[in-house]
Amino acid sequence: MEHTSLIERILRGIALTLVVIFFMFPILWIFMMSFQTNETILRIPPQLIFEPTLANYTALITGKLMTAAGTLDIAFMRNLWNSVFLSVTSVAVSLLLGVPAAYAFARHKFRGSEDIAFTLLSFKFAPALLVLLPLTLYFQKLGLANTYFGLIWVYQLICLPLILWIVRGYFEDIPADIEYAYRIGGHSWFATFRKIALPLAGPGIAAAGLLAFIFAWNNFVFALVLASADKQPVTVGALAFITSSGIQYGQISAAIVLSITPTLALALYAQRYLVEGLSLGAVKG
């Protein structure tokens, strides 16, 4: 690598610049659109310099869009709240269910343990609609259609396999001897689990939780099929904007910015763990 020629370094620089432009431009452009009025957005050629306005954000946050024809209600904050509530609760439930199971899979080889672990993993790879479509019919019969409870239950399909397999890896990394030493000291398995295993796997559990949150937040199809307007998260809600009349492109852009900011922020915060999480523990970052 040391003896690279000048031409090669220039070519590398150009290639990297193109890569960065391709991947960053859409985010940057939508970000800029979110500060523009419809007039500047519709101007051709597109403007790089414009007078930024916060009107789009105010309209979304207050839920009232003032137009010449009157005021229009936008339920976007409701969508945002739904996203927060669904993702946080789903991850909490998943951690509660998944961490003990991960510990069992990591520490005890019991009959059928691998089969169960792989069955849970296979949920991640099965087509979502295979389960979702019949589930809509069941949910209607059970009264679970369009309820937070039903949605959070189904969201376990996203969060649980992820948490189970990542956390399992972290538990396996803890030398079993540390736990024996504590157990021989007369402590119960629960005390060992709580005082030794949990703190040692703590960062891994936190990372798995953050990743599960990102996946739950970004999910689209579950809520599209199972939730109606008042329970929909941002992914479904923002998409509905494009067909609803009266809402302007600036507001759609602002809604996108507000919807992707949480996951981008979390990803930057947890980037050290992303590689391991995305590969379900197969690749270390």
Min separation Cβ 93 and other proteins, Å: 8
Min separation Cβ 54 and other proteins, Å: 19
Which of residues 9, 10, 21, 26 is near other proteins by CB under 8 A? 26
Min separation Cβ 174 and other proteins, Å: 10
Min separation Cβ 92 and other proteins, Å: 13
Q: Closest CB to other proteins among 85 and 123?
A: 123
Min separation Cβ 57 and other proteins, Å: 17
Angle at 229 between CA 250 and CA 215, to 5 degrees: 75
| Binding residues for other proteins restricted to 112-141, rule: CB under 8 A | 113, 116, 118-123, 125-135, 137-138
| Binding residues for other proteins restricted to 157-216, rule: CB under 8 A | 157, 160, 164, 169, 172-173, 176, 180, 183-184, 189, 214
Question: Ramachandran region of residue 248, left (φ > 0), alpha (ψ -120 to 50) or beta?
Answer: beta
Nearest to 244 by CA among 74, 15, 53: 74
Asked if 91 is part of the footprint of other proteins (rule: CB under 8 A), the reply reads: no
CA–CA separation, 282 and 285 (whole Å): 10
Span interacting with other proteins, options 53-61, 70-78, 84-92, 109-117, rule CB under 8 A? 109-117
Min separation Cβ 50 and other proteins, Å: 13
User: In this structure, what is the dihedral angle of CA atoms 267, 159, 145, 148, given to the nearest 10 degrees?
Assistant: -60
Q: Closest CB to other proteins among 71 and 118?
A: 118
Q: Is 231 exposed, middle or buried (0-12, 13-18, 19+ CB in 10 A)?
A: buried
Which of residues 35, 182, 213, 249 is near other proteins by CB under 8 A? 249
- What are the backbone dihedrals phi and psi of residue 72, each rounded to the nearest 5 degrees, phi first? -125, 135
Span interacting with other proteins, options 18-26, 54-62, 63-71, 73-81, rule CB under 8 A? 18-26
Q: How many residues bind other proteins (CB under 8 A)?
A: 104
Q: Is 78 exposed, middle or buried (0-12, 13-18, 19+ CB in 10 A)?
A: middle
Min separation Cβ 249 and other proteins, Å: 6
208-247 mask for other proteins (x: CB under 8 A)? ------x--xxxxx--xx--------xxx-xx--x-----
Min separation Cβ 64 and other proteins, Å: 23
